[in-house]
Amino acid sequence: SLLRSSAPVWPPRVRRFAAIRRFAQPTLSAAASSSHRCCFSSSASPPDSGQEGGSSAAEPAAADAGSLASQVGLPDSLPSLAESAIEGVGGVPGPQLWLETLRVQSDVKLGLVSLDPRIFHQVPRPHVLHENLRWQGLYRLIDYRSITYKTEVARGHKKPWPQKGFGLARHGNRLAPQFFGGAQVKGPRGPESFFTILPQHIRVLGLVQALSARCLQDDLHIVDSLELPADNGAWLQTLVESRGWGPTVLFVADTDKAPVNMALACDSVRYYSLMPYYGINVWSILKHDTLVMTVDAAKKVQARLLHHLSRRDPAGLRNPDWDEPQATHFTGHYQPDRVAPPVYY
């Protein structure tokens, strides 16, 4: 059947990269922008359904959004995180996400938030994410294994047998490694840390790639604030399930003091995490299925990443090239049972 088909058959690797390229450069058609939540149109209102009675169905939603915006106290002009109209990959403008709220169960759209394409619209680079994940998995590990030297063996120094007359090898005590319960040689002397520093540009690129991946996969959501009407974890869990988030969600606040209701609700649900904007990292972003950020948190993260992407350090202040840790970097003894540092993902 493959020989009879008129369409060319590409290898799996070619098909995968072609799919990534098409996904990273979305078209500006009205159908695509209306079907995908992460739309790239310049319209500031939700798209119509295109069916009869669509305008009448959209009017109550617009009225609910207007009344909710007046209750929340949002400004008339919606926030735009991009300072200027910067074109992204392939001439496509920066993405625009719906501005949502956590104060009601229904999925009400308060408007659109523009994001900078240099941070939230980059072509996926899996090798950068892999380097960051491996680094974060290594620097937290500590090898506590430690061998016992002859001076540390809890055993007497008595001569095991006479020097002559028994036909046995001459020994002065039973502390040597060849005796059962004796000392050990050529082994690790812990604790030894696997902490290393990844170059800063690799860490910055890792955050950019993780945020872009979540945005392109429609798993990044921008909310006005993390205020909840109740501190009940079941209420937040119902909201997450009704909107199709999760099952694991990472909430990012713009300060280190989160709202009390949100902190208590996340504490009662096992798969929900809450952290400030300066604690965001590649491991946490990829570990959770959905990333929810406030407008101020997204603005601060975007400003910091843009600063590090465009800064120029003197040659003396640059980080040296990262050398991946090996077994010989952590001990001076020969270890045949340890050819690479352990990694627990």
The pLDDT score that the predictor gives to residue 322 is 60
Q: Specify if 322 maps to a domain.
A: no
**267 or 43: which leads in pLDDT:** 267
Q: What is the mean pLDDT of residues 289-303?
A: 95
Is residue 74 very low, low, confident or very high in pLDDT (cuts 50, 70, 90)? low
- Do 135 and 194 meet the contact criterion of CB atoms below 8 Å apart? no
The contacts of residue 242 (CB under 8 Å, 6+ apart) are 105, 107
The pLDDT score that the predictor gives to residue 63 is 53
Domain co-membership, 113 together with 248: yes
The pLDDT score that the predictor gives to residue 268 is 92
The pLDDT score that the predictor gives to residue 271 is 92
Q: Are strands 290-294 and 220-223 parallel, antiparallel or unpaired?
A: parallel
Residue 38 has pLDDT above 50, yes or no: no
What does the pLDDT look like over 110-132, one tens digit per residue? 999 999 999 999 988 999 999 99
Domain co-membership, 182 together with 277: no
**169 or 321: which leads in pLDDT:** 169
Q: What is the mean pLDDT of residues 24-28?
A: 40
Domain co-membership, 221 together with 297: yes
Say how far apart CA 65 and CA 27 lie, in whole Å.
Answer: 28
Say how far apart CA 201 and CA 216 lie, in whole Å.
Answer: 22
Name the E strands within the chain: 96-100, 111-114, 142-143, 192-193, 220-223, 249-253, 272-276, 290-294
Q: Specify if 245 maps to a domain.
A: yes
Q: CATH number for the domain including 89? A: 3.40.1370.10
Domain co-membership, 219 together with 119: yes
Q: Specify if 183 maps to a domain.
A: yes
Domain co-membership, 105 together with 184: no
Q: Specify if 237 maps to a domain.
A: yes
Domain co-membership, 178 together with 297: no
Q: What is the mean pLDDT of the chain?
A: 76
Domain co-membership, 120 together with 145: no
DSSP for 21-68 reads: HHHHS----HHHHHHSSSB----SSPPP--STTHHHHHHHHHHHHHHH
What does the pLDDT look like over 141-185, one tens digit per residue? 898 999 998 888 888 888 999 999 999 999 989 999 999 989 998
Domain co-membership, 145 together with 278: no
Domain co-membership, 146 together with 284: no
Domain co-membership, 225 together with 189: no
Q: Specify if 51 maps to a domain.
A: no
Domain co-membership, 118 together with 146: no
Is residue 318 very low, low, confident or very high in pLDDT (cuts 50, 70, 90)? low
Max CA distance (Å), the chain: 110
Tokens at 264, concatenated: 């208590």
The pLDDT score that the predictor gives to residue 187 is 87
Domains held by the chain: number: 2
Residue type (1 letter), 91: G
Q: What is the mean pLDDT of residues 50-65?
A: 48
Domain boundaries, position 184: 140-151+173-195
What does the pLDDT look like over 216-263, one tens digit per residue? 999 999 999 999 999 899 999 999 999 999 899 999 999 999 999 999
Domain co-membership, 119 together with 183: no
pTM, full prediction:
0.65
